[in-house]
A and B are shown apart, each in its own frame.
Chain A
C-alpha cells in the first residue's frame, strides 16, 4: 500500500497515524516477522524497518545495539529484501537505512529491490537534500517515496527546499540529538510544527515513547507519531516480546484516535 493512500484512509476515519520502527533482523529475521504482525495487530499504520548499518551515526545506544544484534545475526541487504518480500503486513513498509548501503548496492538496484519486495518509502538519515538528487530520481522512477527530515535548526530556506522534495510524509525531528526514548516532549516540538507548512503529512519522531507524549505531539498539530526506541527496548528485553509490543502499539494508537477536529 502507498503511504499516501494510508493517510487518506486515516483522514476519512478521523484518525492520526502511528508509525513504528524496529530493526530488521533483531534478534533474527523470523522474529522480526512476528514483531511486525504484533505491531499491526496493535494498530501501527506504517512500519519502518531499519536495514542495519555498521556505523549508525544518527542513532542513540538503543538502536545502535539493535543494529549490531541484527548484523551479528547475519542481516544484510539481500536477506532484508527477502524478508520484506516474504511479509504480508497489510500496511505500508518504510526502509530506514544509511546511505552507504544504498550507494554500494547501486541506487537504481536499491530502488528496484524496494519496489519489488514491497517497500513504499525510504528514509536516509545521513542524506541531506543537497546530496539526494540521484536517489530522488531513482525513487521517483520506481514509485518509492523518499522521506526527508527537518529539525528545529532547519531554517526557512532549507525548510522550503526539503518540503518541496519530501513525499509520503515529512519526518520532523522534534529535538536535537540522536534517536532514543525520552521522558518528556521537547519544548521545540510545537515551534517546529508551526513552522512546517505543507500538505504532506507531518510525522514527529525522536524521543517519543508513551501515550502521553504521543497525545501531546498530536495535539500540537502532528499527523503522525514515530516511535522507535521504545519498541526496540522491548525487543531487546527478550521477554513476552510480541505481547508487549502489541500492548504498547495499542496504547499509542489510542492517542491517535482521540477526537480529531
Chain B
C-alpha cells in the first residue's frame, strides 16, 4: 500500500503544478514532526496560546436525564471557540519552518478561517481566507473576527457557495501562488499528506481524553461520538483509540432535511453514510455525486458540516467496520443545541450539536454503553443568529 493511501482511499489527485508543493510539505513534515525544537514550540503554542489541555467535563445533568455517563471533551474552550486551532498552530509552524510568507485557507463555519487568522496574525503571515457566499452570510460574526485580525476574506460565488466551492477557490489560488504560499487545509481532507498531518495535529484531543478518562474512570469509554464534516475533530479524537477495539467510534454526519437527493443537490451532507466511491478535491473518498460523477451540492443547517466529501481515512475505517457512520437531521441537531444549553449551561456549535443529538437519541438503546465521550468541537456563539432566525419561523422548522 502506498503511504498516501488508506485502503483504497486517499491519494493525490491534484494538478501537476501542486505535486512539488505536496512533496515539499511531506518532506518538511517528516523532518520536523519529531524535531525537539519544533515540538517545543508546538507545545508552547498549544498551552499558552490555545489554552490546552481542555477539560474532559462530566455532564452531570445530561447524564442523569439520559441514563448513561456522558463526558464532554471541551474543545469549545480552545482559543477561538473550536478545535480548529490545534491544526492551524501545527501547520502554521510548519509553514514558518518551510519559509512560507503567506497562508491561505478555506472555511465553512468560519471557525477554521478564524483559527487561521489567529495564527496568521500571531506568527506574522499574510493571510487570505476563501469562504462561500452563503457561509459569509450565515456566519458573518466570524467574517468580522477574521477581518479584525488582518485577514482578507474572499466571498466565493460559485457552485453551492459553501465549503466545497471555497476549497476549489483556495486550490486555484495555491496553483497560482504555490512558491510563497502554504495552503492551510482545515480538515482531514484533500490530497496526501494533508489528511495525515491534520489528523496528527488534531490527535491531541484523543490523547488527552485517554489520560483524562483513565484518571477519572479508570477505564476507556464504551463509545466516542463526534460530528463529522471533513472529519478532523472526529479523526482527532478517534485516532488514538483506533487500536482499542472495545471502544466504539461514531462519526455523526449532517442528515440535513433527510437522506434524499434532487438532481443537483443532496438534502444532507452524509457522505460516509450514503456517499459513493469517488475523487473529490485531491482525494479518493466517499462523495455525494450523481450517476455521472458530477458532485452534488450538500446541505445542512450547520455550515461546518455542509460538505460533499469526507476524509479518506474515515471512509476506510467505515469500510473495515472500525467506525460506525450515523447521522442526525437538522431538527434533531437544533433540539440538542437547546437541550445542552438548558441542561448544562453550555451552548454548543451547531456542528457539535449533531454529536450531542446522536447521544440523546441513542443513549437509551444501550448501543453506546455506559460511558460515553462526546467531542464538543466548538461553541455556539457563531450560530445564535441562525438559531434565532429559525426560532422566529413557525415551529422552528428548518426543512419545508
Contacts and interface: CB of A to CB of B under 8 A. Distances in A.
A2 B281 CA distance: 32
Contact of B19 (A71, A104, A158, A176): A158
B164 A55 contact: yes
B13 A176 contact: no
A57 B159 CA distance: 12
Interface in A128-170: 128-131, 148-151, 153-155, 158, 162
A202 to B, nearest CB: 15
A100 B16 contact: no
A57 B293 contact: no
A128 B16 contact: yes
A167 to B, nearest CB: 16
Contacts of A99: 13, 279
Interface in A30-58: 53-58
Contacts of B359: none
B279 A178 contact: no
A126 B295 contact: no
Interface size class of B (residues with CB under 8 A): 35 or more
Interface string B170-209: 0110011111000000000000000000000000000000
A194 B16 CA distance: 19
A129 B178 CA distance: 19
Most chain A CB within 10 A, of B19, B292, B295, is at B292
Q: Which of B168, B179, B293 counts the most chain A CB atoms within 10 A?
A: B293
Given A53-B294, A99-B279, A104-B292, A130 B19 contact: yes
B12 interface: yes
Interface in A170-184: 173, 176-178
B295 A154 contact: no
Contact of B17 (A56, A103, A153): A153
Question: Interface size for chain A: under 10, 10 to 19, 20 to 34, or 35 or more residues?
Answer: 35 or more
Q: Looking at chain B's contact residues, is the secondary structure mostly helix, strand, loop, or mixed? A: mixed
A12 to B, nearest CB: 32
Nearest to A98: B279
B278 interface: yes
Contacts of A150: 16
Nearest to B178: A176
Given A54-B295, A131-B11, A149 B279 contact: no
A105 interface: yes
A87 interface: no
Contact of B294 (A54, A103, A126, A154): A54
B15 A103 contact: no
Contacts of B179: 153, 176
A176 B287 CA distance: 29
Interface of A: 53-58, 60, 64, 71, 76-78, 99-105, 125-131, 148-151, 153-155, 158, 162, 173, 176-178
Interface of B: 11-17, 19-21, 158-159, 164, 168, 171-172, 175-179, 277-282, 284, 287, 289, 291-295
8 contacts: A55-B164, A71-B294, A76-B294, A77-B293, A104-B289, A104-B291, A130-B12, A151-B17
Given A100-B280, A103-B284, 13 more contacts: A54-B294, A55-B159, A56-B168, A57-B168, A78-B292, A100-B293, A104-B293, A128-B19, A130-B19, A149-B16, A153-B178, A155-B20, A173-B17
